[in-house]
Structure 1
Amino acid sequence: MPTLALMWEAKAAPGRAGDLLAWARAQELDPSPARREHFTAPGERVLVITWWPAAYDAEVPELPDPPQELRARPVHRWRFEQV
């Protein structure tokens, strides 16, 4: 079975990185991914990676955009297939 990894990255509004991370952690996906991890980086960025037992073009749930007051710019999303 192929593995699909979804990456979701958002830059928090100034001083809101903790709030953005808490918001991202609270978002439930149905069904749940096989694996999910949360990361932070300088510049108040939050990254969430989810892993799915699915092909690259599979329809799987994705994290939504956070509320406008938590983000400094639009969310970036990428898909990767394990090789």
Structure 2
Amino acid sequence: MTVALMWEARAVAGRGEELLSWARAQTLSRRPLRRETFRAPEDRVLVITWWDAPYDADLPELPDPDPDLVTRAVHRWRFESAGED
């Protein structure tokens, strides 16, 4: 089964590049099948990691950045693949 972990944070205004650099520098204790980083307006950063694991597996996740870098708590979601269309 493929499981995707999504991590999303919103930086303090004007610090989006700093948050993006911070997210890219984070290492995980295991290597995922794939890892991709995105950015969006309003200084948002999204990281998705893909894993070959059961849905409820204990998987490494990105930590929370320093509170002074973000405007709110990090959002995290977990999805399982529903197959390709």
TM-score, normalised on structure 2? 0.94
2:58 — aligned with what?
Answer: 59
2:75 — aligned with what?
Answer: 76
Secondary structure of the residue that 1:10 maps to in structure 2? Answer: strand
Secondary structure of the residue that 1:8 maps to in structure 2? Answer: strand
State the alpha-carbon separation in 2 of the partners of residues 53 and 82 from structure 1.
Answer: 10
Moved over 4 A (4+): none
2:31 — aligned with what?
Answer: 32
TM-score, normalised on structure 1? 0.96
State the alpha-carbon separation in 2 of the partners of residues 80 and 69 from structure 1.
Answer: 29
Counting matched residue pairs gives 82
Question: What 5-or-longer segments of structure 1 have no aligned partner?
Answer: none
Kindly report the root-mean-square deviation, in angstroms, between the aligned alpha carbons of the 2 structures: 0.6
1:41 aligns with 2:40: yes
State the alpha-carbon separation in 1 of the partners of residues 51 and 25 from structure 2.
Answer: 19
Percent of counterpart pairs with the same letter? 63
2:19 — aligned with what?
Answer: 20
What code does the residue aligned with 1:67 have? D
